[in-house]
Structure formats: C-alpha cells, structure tokens
Amino acid sequence: MREGFTMVEVLVAAVIASFAGMALLQTNNSNTLLFSKLKSLSESTEELSLVATHADKRFNRSNKSLYDILDRQYDIQNDDFRKYLKETKYDYTETLIDTIIFGDDGEAENSEDTNMLYEENSESVPTLQFELIKISIRNETSHGAIIKIRPLL
C-alpha cells in the first residue's frame, strides 16, 4: 500500500490546473475587453443623443464641442464639466433624407381619423411639414448617427 502520489500524477494534476487557470484568465481578458467596448459604445450613444436633442441647422458641416452645442440652452457652472465639454469636439453633419407633409389644401393624406376630427368642427386640416434628417457625429475616438424628425416652421 502506498502513501502518496507519484511524480507523474503530480505533474498531470499541475498541467490540468495550469490549463484551467489559463482558460479562466482568457475568459477574464475577453470579458474585460467586451465591457470596455460596451462602456465606450454607451458613452458615445449618450453623447450622440445629447447632440441630436440639441441639433441645429447652423451646426451642419462644422467641428463643434459639446459646450458649443449646449451653451445656449444651459448655464453650466461646474468648471471641470465645462472643461470636459469644451475638449469633446465632434464633426457634425446633417443630411436631409426626406420631407414629410401631412395635409394638403385642407385634406389630410391617408388619415381618415384626422378628417373625422375636423369634420365635427368643419375646419380644414392644417398642413404639417417635417424634415427627416440623419445627424452624424465623429471624432477621433467614436462616431455615430441618428435619425431625427424636425418640424418645418
């Protein structure tokens, strides 16, 4: 009857343990890379949404900082935040995709419900016009695009 493991058994156990350790390290490395990409995508999506919310035709084909875009709507007091916004610059581009018109000469296009609402008051249906635009932003680290509907006045 023997009292311990042979050298071969110990070596086989060490090799199996090292393979398991390498697999765990590889999984951890892959997860870290995936989470860093998700974080970057989330940040760029937030910035794109912020820019799209405050989109203005005057910014088309220009390089603007987030501070330039937000300065008119908000009074930003925090100096660190203001510095971050000024350093974050984007190439801003708007592309007109289509113009949407609802109503024409008092008649709503393809909308029986709208006609019924105005038949009660015997008023004509107002003409509403919208632009369907693609807003693209790009800087050295991220880029993105979003579709926005903007009313024509």
Residue 19: pLDDT band (50, 70, 90) is very high
Buried b (16+ CB within 10 A) or exposed e, 136-151: bbeeeebebebeeeee
pLDDT one-digit tens code per residue, 58-101 = 888 888 888 888 887 888 888 998 898 888 888 888 899 999 88
Rounded CA separation 149/131 (Å): 6
Q: Report yes or no: 100 and 129 within 8 Å, Cβ to Cβ.
A: yes
Instruction: Please give the pLDDT value at position 135.
Output: 85
142 is a domain residue: yes
Domain range for residue 144? 7-151
Instruction: Please give the pLDDT value at position 137.
Output: 83
In 3D space, the residue among 100, 106, 84 whose CA is nearest the CA of residue 151 turns out to be 100
Residue 152, token pair as written in the block: 């024509």
pLDDT tops 90 at residue 140: no
102 vs 26: which has the higher pLDDT? 26
pLDDT one-digit tens code per residue, 90-109 = 888 889 999 988 875 544 44
2 is a domain residue: no
1 is a domain residue: no
82 is a domain residue: yes
pLDDT one-digit tens code per residue, 36-58 = 888 888 877 887 787 777 777 88
Residue 63, token pair as written in the block: 């390089």
114 is a domain residue: yes
Residue 33, token pair as written in the block: 């890379």
**Its pTM surpasses 0.95:** no
- Number of domain units in the chain: 1
Q: 10 Å Cβ neighbour count for 74?
A: 11
pLDDT tops 60 at residue 114: no
